[in-house]
Homo-oligomer: A and B are copies of this chain.
Amino acid sequence: MPDIPLSDRSPGAPRAAGSAAFSPLYQQIKGLLLQSLDRGEWKPGEAIPSEFDLAARFQVSQGTVRKAIDELAAENLLLRRQGKGTFVATHNEARVRYRFLRLTPDEGRPPVSGSRILECRRVKSAPDVARLLDLRMSETVVNLRRVLSFDQVPTILDDIWLPGAVFRGLTAESLARYRGPLYALFESEFGVSMVRAEEKIKAVRAGAEPAELLQVPEGEPLLQVERVSYTYGDRPMELRRGLYLTEHFHYRNSLN
């Protein structure tokens, strides 16, 4: 299986020397691996071929494949396990489950969580939603609303939008039966792997409806988190607006 769109690889080839668009071999390999991931050649949780096999397939040395995989592992798209192989990252594993959930109790153990679906309907996208999801204006989106509780206490109110064309057949009923992270469901049911997200955070006053759903007085300070999640190729696949009650919880973050 000759995937050969690589640059000229003859021994002394100047590899686009001095050219504006010089791309190292391992970056090209990384791109090919990304394509395979995107096209679903290897599914989340599965092992990809060994470094040795990939080196043969791409006609490069093992070290070059290794460097490509290194970068994908650093970006959490792949997971290396010594002695076993390299695996496609998934939101379905204990180790990385709730990867994107940064809300933590001020003290004590991570609590038991439960989800209550408020709504799940297909609507025409509003302009701001369409823009953030890179859709045409008024294209159909799935709008999903839910309340997450920790130890029975309502704590997060989520308002979620998904591209309707991709998330066909997502209904309140199927969601009600489901246990576990949404992102795991997206992977297994819709083939959408969330790989990265950007968040914008503010402090806001609780309006009437959020106050009622979170069982706090109107005007209560809430953390407002707007998240856009991306799949392979930096394609936005989810817009999520969350309101977090931070009386006994905080949003943790690490700066490097």
Digitize A227-256: 1 where CB-to-B-CB distance is under 8 Å, 0 elsewhere: 100000000000000001010001111111
**How many angstroms from the CA of A227 to the CA of B255 in the assembled complex?**
9
**How many angstroms from the CA of A196 to the CA of B253 in the assembled complex?**
11
Chain A positions 190-208 with a Cβ under 8 Å from a chain B Cβ: 196-205
Among B196, B222, B254, contact of A196 (Cβ-Cβ < 8 Å): B254
- A: contact size bracket: 20 to 34
The answer on a CB contact under 8 Å between A205 and B223 is: no
Q: Does A74 contact B (CB under 8 A)?
A: yes
**How many angstroms from the CA of A226 to the CA of B250 in the assembled complex?**
10
Copies held by the complex: 2
Among B204, B205, B254, contact of A199 (Cβ-Cβ < 8 Å): B254
The majority secondary structure among interface residues of chain A is strand
**How many angstroms from the CA of A203 to the CA of B204 in the assembled complex?**
8
Q: Does A221 contact B (CB under 8 A)?
A: yes
**How many angstroms from the CA of A255 to the CA of B238 in the assembled complex?**
14
Offer 18 A-B interface pairs, CB within 8 angstroms, sorted by A: A74-B74, A75-B256, A76-B256, A100-B255, A197-B255, A198-B254, A199-B252, A200-B250, A200-B252, A201-B251, A202-B223, A202-B250, A202-B251, A203-B203, A203-B223, A204-B246, A223-B223, A253-B253
Give the B-binding residues of A (Cβ under 8 A).
74-76, 99-100, 102, 196-205, 219, 221-224, 227, 244, 246, 250-256
